[in-house]
Amino acid sequence: MSGGLKGSRILVTGGAGFIGSHSAKRLHEEGNFVRIVDTKESEFMKTKYYDEFLKLDLRQYDNCLKVTENIDQVFNFAANMGGIGFITEVGADVMRDNVLINTNMLEASRINGVQKYFFSSSACIYPIFKQTVPDLPGLKESDAYPADPNEFYGWEKLFCEKMCEAYRRDYGLNIMVARYHNVYGPEGTYEGGREKAPASLCRKVAMVDDPGEITIWGDGKQTRSFLYITDCVEATIRLVDKEYHEPLNIGSDRLVTIDQLADLIIGISGKKILKKYDLSKPQGVRGRNADLTLVKKVLNWQPQVSLEEGLRRTYEWILREVQAKRST
């Protein structure tokens, strides 16, 4: 629990999205006034997790001025984003939309005197040349330069990190930045093309008959680390509470192959499932892991939910969603 946030007036942008909705829920439960803004309401959060909801497009500067009025702290999760399939295919819209959102939100927060500003960056900012083999050491925050980000999405995130740095230097805006590494969990997108690997694989396993088969993108030997949503929210709140001003990894340092990830989910399902591979599909960088040395030191934090337990919770939730849709 973080003590510094209670009783604040907090804005959560992208508050209907995955990390945004879970963060807003936690902040609301801790006794803060929580205003969320998004272009749509949450599909998955069943209970009210905010005090005020504004349906507005933050690509418009006037809307950003409106939502930051009388706000102490901003948690900026709003973004046009998705999994590897989406960010590989879509470049211009991602860069334009997200740079507009972040530019407008920083300026509006400055004008309206916001006391704390959080920006959600991504491990996609790390250089491709440091992620060319599956078995690799965790990426340190200092590895970001020389820059060679993954996809246009990574370039946009890195640019916005630098814009945050400039606003802090030139205007004194109190800004914190997290580089998220593959956050997953229930109550998030699991179909439609924007879902990420854990949710996609959970959906595939949930939908297939027993026995059956699923398709994995790539050869399954690419590696990642995965962080459960409650651990992500805890670290994020601690970061804002601590007011640490350099970009900080928030992720897991347990490296697994996508094959191993699929095997864990198949094991949880209890089904007999054959894996096949589609080498024509995008798989992103060959390997990526998080070095947590700095975040453990700065925030006295490390992940608490094991990959096995987090996947079990995620699979069971997605299974219920799939079964409910089939029964209607």
* Active-site annotation, residues: 153
Residues 6 or more apart whose Cβ sits within 8 Å of residue 98: 79, 80, 81, 153, 156, 157, 160
* Helix intervals (H) in 112-228: 151-171, 197-207
Smallest Cα–Cα separation from 249: which of 262, 259, 258, 239? 239
How long is the chain?
328
* Helix intervals (H) in the chain: 18-29, 61-67, 84-89, 92-111, 151-171, 197-207, 229-242, 258-269, 293-299, 307-327
Half-sphere exposure at residue 55, Cβ-oriented, CA atoms within 13 angstroms: 4
User: For residues 44, 49, 54 and 58, what is the CA-based torsion angle, rounded to 10 degrees?
Assistant: -70
Residues 6 or more apart whose Cβ sits within 8 Å of residue 81: 87, 94, 98, 153, 194
Tokens encoding 101: 């959102």
Whether 199 and 318 have beta carbons less than 8 Å apart is answered as yes
